[in-house]
């Protein structure tokens, strides 16, 4: 595993980075990879975790599979997965898991998510409580934007970022003119 900024095993990182009350684990830029996420998924000590920051950890779809199958990581409200290598299959697994039903903030900025991943998010009954969704710098295109705009479950979003997804004016307008997002407080499409 490539660890340019981290030479500690994940077991040590959990001890050092888990908040005292056990509700926040900040492992951003630790490069734990899928193996590290699989380890986290099996830790009963994380059963009260509300916030998990896995920004820039070389997480792929396989790591997401471990996350959504975890019997312990079921109370997450904030999940940072930005700057990883997650594609449509990983997002589809995430969106179809009942274990993510408490999520309010989901950050997927700068991954490898395409139209199918955006559609999975838009159609997920388990993500209906989301307040913030960051999909900037992915590959959802106009097709993904149209899926989000037609969502029947994301009407509670207060923040949506789809900057840098190759949207044409038609794709941007589908989001801006969506009745689902008519009350959104902050939408970034440019």
For 18-76, how does the pLDDT look when each residue is reduced to its tens digit (9 = 90+)? 999 999 999 999 999 999 999 999 999 999 999 999 999 999 999 999 999 999 999 99
CA 129 from centroid of its chain's CA atoms:
14
- Per-residue confidence at 1, pLDDT binned at 50, 70, 90? very low
For the cut 80, the answer to whether the pLDDT of residue 5 exceeds it is no
Q: Which of 26, 44, 73 is the last residue of a domain?
A: 73
pLDDT above 70 for 89: yes
Query: Mean pLDDT, the chain, as a whole number?
Result: 96
- Please check whether residues 93 and 68 belong to one and the same domain: no
Instruction: Report the greatest alpha carbon distance in the chain.
Output: 49
Contacts of 89 (CB under 8 A, 6+ apart): 61
Mean pLDDT of 124-141: 98
The pLDDT of residue 133: 98
**156 within a domain of the structure (yes/no):** yes
> Residue 7 — very low, low, confident or very high, per pLDDT cuts 50/70/90?
confident
Question: Which of 52, 73, 94 represents a domain boundary (last residue)?
Answer: 73
Same domain (yes/no): 48, 116: no
- 134 and 178: one domain? yes
For residue 176, being part of any structural domain is answered with yes
103 and 142 share a domain? yes
**Co-location of 98 and 188 in the same domain:** yes
113 is a domain residue: yes
Is the confidence at residue 3, as pLDDT, over 80? no
Residue 128 sits in the same domain as residue 189: yes
Residue 190: pLDDT band by 50, 70, 90 thresholds?
confident
Q: Is residue 12 part of a domain?
A: yes
CATH of the domain at 178: 3.80.10.10
Give how many domains the chain has, as a whole number: 2
Q: Per the domain annotation, does 67 fall within a domain? A: yes
Asked if residue 101 and residue 186 are part of one domain, the reply reads yes
> In this prediction, what percent of the chain has a pLDDT beyond 70?
97
Q: What is the mean pLDDT of residues 167-176?
A: 98
Domain region containing 53: 1-73
Q: At what angle do helices 33-41 and 61-69 cross, to 10 degrees?
A: 0
| Residue 133, domain member (yes or no) | yes
């Amino acid at each position: 595993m490539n660890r340019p900024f981290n030479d500690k095993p994940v077991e040590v990182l959990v001890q050092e980075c888990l908040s005292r009350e056990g509700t926040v684990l900040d492992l951003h830029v630790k490069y734990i990879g899928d193996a590290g996420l699989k380890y986290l998924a099996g830790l009963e000590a994380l059963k009260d975790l509300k916030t998990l920051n896995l920004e820039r950890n070389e997480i792929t779809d396989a790591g997401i599979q471990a996350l959504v199958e975890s019997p312990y990581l079921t109370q997450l409200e904030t999940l940072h997965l930005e700057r990883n290598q997650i594609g449509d299959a990983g997002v589809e697994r995430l969106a179809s898991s009942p274990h993510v039903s408490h999520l309010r903030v989901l950050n997927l900025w700068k991954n490898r998510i395409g139209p199918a991943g955006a559609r999975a998010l838009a159609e997920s009954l388990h993500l209906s409580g989301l307040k913030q969704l960051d999909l900037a710098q992915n590959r959802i295109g106009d097709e993904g934007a149209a899926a989000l705009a037609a969502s029947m479950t994301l009407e509670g979003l207060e923040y949506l970022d789809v900057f840098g997804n190759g949207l044409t004016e038609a794709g941007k307008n589908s989001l801006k003119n969506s009745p689902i997002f008519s009350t959104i407080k902050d939408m970034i499409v440019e």
